[in-house]
Amino acid sequence: MNRSTKTNHKGNEMNLIDKRNQLITAAAALVLSAGSALAGPADNSLTIGIGEEPPGFDGYISTARDGVMMTRHLFDMLVYRNPETFEYEPLLATSWTRIDDLTWEFKLREGVTFHDGSAFDAEDVVWTLTTYADPETGARSQASVNWIDKVEAVDPMTVRIVSKTPFPAAMEFIAGSLPIYPSDYAQEVGLQGFAQAPVGTGPYKYVSGDSGQFTLEAHDGYYEGGGKGTPAIEKLNVRIIPDTATRIAEVIGGNVDWIWNVPQDQVAQLGGLPNVTAELGSTMRIAMVGMDAAKRANPDSPMADLKVRQAINHAIDRDAIVANLVGGDGEVINVPCYPMQFGCDTSAAVTYDYDPEKAKALLAEAGYADGFKVKMSSYRDRSRAEAVQSYLAAVGIEADLEMVQARASFSAWREGDVDIWYGDWGSFSIADASASLGNFFNGSTNDGARDQAVMDLVAKAGSSVDEDDRKAAYSEAIKAITEKAYWVPMHTIVMGYAYTTGLEFTPNVDELPRFFLAKWAD
């Protein structure tokens, strides 16, 4: 099968699926009033519909979004990052100090118990972090743990985490990706057993489950004074419903109280139903058009020419895409990072306005007056990708667009199969530019530029603990990246949520739903 028929085939399939999703909301809108009796508020439970079955409940293994969401409910990290202010708040640790460039010391909370009743202390922290810092254990996201050199108990309620080299983003990972397990229980049942019957200190405990659904219950003995507060909803029923249209139908029918990943165009229609609240929440996920300046896809790639990349920056009307196709609070960005991340200095960026005439002139200067052909890959949203495709066509660049699944599209970009990639990046919810710039301009396979000067700056900013030095290095990197137009920084992504009216739920920019903060209205 050749490439172009593949594209068409996949295209039709995707269109069909889009149409199906539209059908379900359109048809449901015809139902005058769904008026079904809702179980949720009556017994203070919440039924959540997710698309993928998590591969167990080990937070170091189950790293897809739905899995991370469950990890945050079952387990606690040492610290909690407030989703509104991005400040660190006490959780399992009540205070922390930096001893030196490599070492953080944490005072642990007294009187915390795991779901099985055992007491929490330094031994649990040391065992959990030491175990997963070992690459042999097989943590899925090595970046979360491979900076840890050693973890040691100073006394039963004090631990020190020592990094291999100065690691400025340490607190972000400690607050974001490092849940603490009960060492005795986990060793007794083994990590595989633990993933099937997890025990944590989190606000919810695992009660039961078989394939297709599982139940969490509020942890009665959950400590007070932590950043997560005390959960109001008593029971979380989680159902796995792979098909988007079916998930939407379940919410309309009132059998499921909460879903996410609702397609943007469905949100308005769903919101029109009396029993459903639908909204688009902003996220810290940024979309970009990456260009293969390093000529991985093609040794004669026009993308290697600065003028061509500048032309592409001028060719795309990002404001129109955001206003018409992103929706919600989606915003145009001019930087190759999320503006709220540490080091993401928006003032350092060179910006490009929408000016197709200028784009054409630049292409002519570069010797491409008659345009050229490129391969392009994207995944999340067909209409946006096609908009970019047609903006490129308007200045003479013919992009052969391949819409595939996210994983396949990432592979195409990383393996250098495409010249242009319209992708996005959630920075693992980490509020530090090391998670964005540090993943796309560090010489890794994600890096389509491979600019040594930029790589050096990013490496410097990622390994210094002096905040001013870091900021300066990131600013310089951002200036260089935008000057050389390696990306078209596009926009932030919005996440579609739909839930039973009466649920008080606030979406967060880090795309981590927090049901311990949700409650049913009286």
Partner 1 sequence: MARLILRRSALALFVVFAISIICFLLSHVAVDPAAGVAGDSATDEDLAAIRMQYGFDQPLIVQYGDYLAGVLRGDLGNSYLSGEPVSQLIAERIPATALLACLSIGFALALAVPLGVLAALRPNSLLDRLALTLAVVGQAVPNFWAGLLLILLFGVNLGWLPISGSATLAHFVLPAITLGSFAMPALMRLIRAGMIEVLEADYIRTARAMGLSNRKILFRYALRNAILPVISLTAVQFGFMLGGSIIVESVFAIQGVGYLAWQSMSRSDMPVIQAIVLFISMIYILLTLFADLLNAVLDPRIREHG
Catalog residues that contact partner 1 under the rule CB under 8 A: 16, 20, 23-24, 27-28, 30-31, 34, 36, 52-53, 55-56, 63-64, 135, 138, 140-143, 146, 192, 195, 210-213, 239-243, 245-246, 249-250, 252-253, 255, 405-408, 410-411, 414-415, 425-426, 428, 439, 444-446
Rounded-to-integer distance, Cα 455 and Cα 88, Å: 29
Pick the closer one to partner 1 by CB: 52 or 110: 52
User: Among candidates 509, 129, 440, which has minimal Cα distance to 293?
Assistant: 440
Using an 8 Å Cβ cutoff, are 443 and 450 in contact? yes
User: Among candidates 273, 235, 278, which has minimal Cα distance to 259?
Assistant: 278
Residue type, 224: E
Pick the closer one to partner 1 by CB: 121 or 250: 250
Q: How far is the CB of 56 from partner 1 (least distance, A)?
A: 5
Q: How far is the CB of 190 from partner 1 (least distance, A)?
A: 10
Q: How far is the CB of 439 from partner 1 (least distance, A)?
A: 6
Q: How far is the CB of 131 from partner 1 (least distance, A)?
A: 15
Q: How far is the CB of 475 from partner 1 (least distance, A)?
A: 24
For residue 270, is it left (φ>0), alpha (ψ between -120 and 50) or beta? alpha
Rounded-to-integer distance, Cα 187 and Cα 127, Å: 9
Using an 8 Å Cβ cutoff, are 389 and 377 in contact? no
Q: How far is the CB of 153 from partner 1 (least distance, A)?
A: 28
Pick the closer one to partner 1 by CB: 118 or 213: 213
Pick the closer one to partner 1 by CB: 26 or 99: 26
User: Among candidates 245, 246, 218, 241, which has minimal Cα distance to 48?
Assistant: 241
User: Among candidates 267, 211, 200, which has minimal Cα distance to 52?
Assistant: 211
DSSP state of 432: B
Q: How far is the CB of 93 from partner 1 (least distance, A)?
A: 27
DSSP state of 359: H
Rounded-to-integer distance, Cα 345 and Cα 348, Å: 6
350-386: b or e for each residue (b if 16 or more CB lie within 10 Å)? eebeeebebbbbbbeebebeebbebbbbbbbbbebbb
Pick the closer one to partner 1 by CB: 158 or 411: 411
Pick the closer one to partner 1 by CB: 32 or 42: 32
Q: How far is the CB of 209 from partner 1 (least distance, A)?
A: 11
Pick the closer one to partner 1 by CB: 245 or 362: 245
Pick the closer one to partner 1 by CB: 55 or 156: 55
